Amino acid sequence: MNTANSNFMNKIPDDTIFGPNDSGEGINYRYVRSIQDETELIRLLKLRLEGFFVRQVQPLQDAGSAFPLTVMTCIGIETLGEIFVPEKDGDSSYQFVETVSKMHQVFGRKPESAFLERFAEIWSEKDSSNINSYGKLLYRFFRNTMIHGYQGKSAFLSYEDTDKIEIKSESGFMVINPDWLWNTYKAFFEKRFSEVLKAPNDHPKRLHCLKYIRGFLLE
């Protein structure tokens, strides 16, 4: 097999739309591949995600569509993890957990013993031995189970019971307000990109973002 030819055939065609520009008009991969300014590349990635993700998910919040909104929020969290957080061998949840833990401190906390004991009683067939944070719990028993079966097992959604997030240790689950999680994600999205756009050229998150753009999106 000709490696160069194979890579060329796998490349996203130059005429494919990469995302919107500042005026909302589509720009293609050929244009983005020609850009040498690294800050401009990061800015165009932000515009791409705003146009293709944030603005297209927002109607789910406006319609009160709790489950689709929260699933898409999890996808957004995972995408920011892919962009800014290096992978960790043997831990597919690492980028998601690192990101959601920075979004809100509760996701970085270790569950109380009473929570884990009750969770293990309810879901006795599940291995909960490596649950070292509520973020890990959200990944394994909400993000995964929603995407692969549309059932949450560690988190339940409610607009009425909480305006943010509530940990029910005696019951072994979390209650999350879908609007709060989505709004928290959007605020973190803006904060993270703002930080990276202003960061020095050798900043680790900036370097990883550029690696994502060049090594994943543009190849």
**Is residue 152 one of the residues assigned to a domain?**
yes
According to the model, what pLDDT value does residue 4 have? Answer: 38
> Cβ(138)–Cβ(174) under 8 Å?
yes
**Is residue 77 one of the residues assigned to a domain?**
yes
Expressed as residue numbers, the domain containing 130 is 9-217
**Is residue 139 one of the residues assigned to a domain?**
yes
For the chain, list residues with pLDDT below 70. Answer: 1-10
Phi-psi region of 126 (alpha: psi -120 to 50; beta: other; left: phi over 0): beta
**Is residue 178 one of the residues assigned to a domain?**
yes
Distances (CA, A) of 137 to 49, 71, 78, 123, 129: 26, 15, 14, 13, 11
Helix (H, G, I), strand (E, B) or coil at 5: helix
169-180: pLDDT as tens digits: 999 999 999 999
**Is residue 209 one of the residues assigned to a domain?**
yes
**Is residue 2 one of the residues assigned to a domain?**
no
12-47: pLDDT as tens digits: 999 999 999 999 999 999 999 999 999 999 999 999
**Is residue 170 one of the residues assigned to a domain?**
yes
According to the model, what pLDDT value does residue 194 have? Answer: 98
According to the model, what pLDDT value does residue 8 have? Answer: 47
Q: How many domains, in total, are found in the chain?
A: 1
Return the bridge partners of 175, or none.
Answer: 156, 166
According to the model, what pLDDT value does residue 130 have? Answer: 84
